[in-house]
Amino acid sequence: MFERKIVAALDAGAAGMRAGTAYRLQQARAAALARLAEPERAKAMRFTPALAGAGGQIGAPAGGRSVFSRRSFWIGLVMLVAIAIGYQQWAAWQQLAELADVDTAILTSDLPIDAYLDRGFQNWLKTLASDGGS
């Protein structure tokens, strides 16, 4: 009895629709019924883990859009890359500052000029630089 009232209300609402809209609704209904007819797929979808608050499967949150098509995903990814590049630049700057401090300490030391021209001193500096300063 209740079902007949629903069908009658839906038929009355569909009577005023344009033909194109009714056709698209008919196609959507047929696609939904075809998905229900696939028991394996329906069973697999039932046990698929979902994101908290997403209201659906991973990769297809509420609204049917993929995670990769969301603007917030791409903004977050760009921010993550920018932070990684910024950290790398900061670390390189820190290393350069340390090398400048070492150079300044060597140049302001009490060594005579002849020591800087000595081949042994130059070799010692090269081995010091290649060993990482240890």
Residues 83 and 117 in one domain: yes
- Domain assignment present for 19: yes
Quick one: pLDDT at residue 27?
84
Residues 82 and 119 in one domain: yes
Q: How confident is the model at residue 21 (pLDDT cuts 50, 70, 90)?
A: confident
- Count of alpha carbons within 13 Å of 5, Cβ hemisphere only? 2
Residues 42 and 80 in one domain: no
Q: Is 61 exposed, middle or buried (0-12, 13-18, 19+ CB in 10 A)?
A: middle
Average pLDDT over residues 120-126: 80
Quick one: pLDDT at residue 94?
95
What are the pLDDT digits (tens) for 25-60?
788 878 877 777 666 555 555 555 555 555 555 555
Q: Which two tokens stand for residue 52?
A: 């908290």
Residues 126 and 88 in one domain: yes
Q: Which domain holds residue 36?
A: 2-47
User: Are the beta carbons of 35 and 27 closer than 8 angstroms?
Assistant: no
- Count of alpha carbons within 13 Å of 8, Cβ hemisphere only? 5
- Domain assignment present for 122: yes
Quick one: pLDDT at residue 79?
96
* Tally of domains within the chain: 2
Quick one: pLDDT at residue 50?
55
What are the pLDDT digits (tens) for 73-113?
889 999 999 999 999 999 999 999 999 988 888 778 777 77
Residues 81 and 127 in one domain: yes
- Domain assignment present for 57: no
Residue 1 has pLDDT above 60, yes or no: yes
